[in-house]
Amino acid sequence: MIEGNAGWMNQINFSGYDYRTGGLLYEGAASYHFYHVRARGVVPFVTFGAGGLSVKTRDGINMNDHNQSVYVFPLATPQATAGPIPNTIGSLVVRDNDTFFTFSYGGGIKGQRLWGPLGLRADFRGRTLPSFYGQTVNAFEATGGLLFSWGER
């Protein structure tokens, strides 16, 4: 089965900073259903998806950068310098609509066509952002919701 997912992340926290930053998460995914273990219309499945995360800043500082909000976070990590004393402060620049590749993997259960084309689903996924501001981020998410089915049974 092919599916599309979209969701809003209310907060993306950067350690030690209290800025209002959220994100729009979207992906396309494929899932494989184990119909031979169906019980009362409920079917287990596994899934893999790929998509993006677009960071949305709120209450930001306008830096005349195409009307985008920009946050600059100081980082306390050593930076390379030409002199004998390394810089210990760098910066992380977070712009509105910064977009990052993401992929997910996991599984769950679906109750398809429980009431006409309407059903329910619940799943548990791991999500990886391989290059989120220079770092790999792994997260766990649990989701559930309505399922609308079209096409063959």
The answer to whether position 127 is within a domain reads yes
| Residue numbers of the domain that contains 100 | 2-59+95-148
Q: How far apart are the first and last CA of the chain?
A: 12
Judge whether residue 140 has pLDDT over 50.
Answer: yes
The answer to whether position 6 is within a domain reads yes
The answer to whether position 90 is within a domain reads no
Q: Please give the Cα distance from 86 to 143 (Å, whole number).
A: 45
The answer to whether position 74 is within a domain reads no
The answer to whether position 34 is within a domain reads yes
Dump pLDDT digits (tens) for 99-118.
999 999 999 999 988 888 89
Please say whether the beta carbons of 144 and 120 come within 8 A. yes
The answer to whether position 82 is within a domain reads no
**pLDDT on residue 134:** 84
pLDDT range class, residue 62, cuts 50, 70, 90 = very low
The answer to whether position 23 is within a domain reads yes
The answer to whether position 131 is within a domain reads yes
pTM, full prediction:
0.71
Report the number of distinct structural domains present in the chain.
1
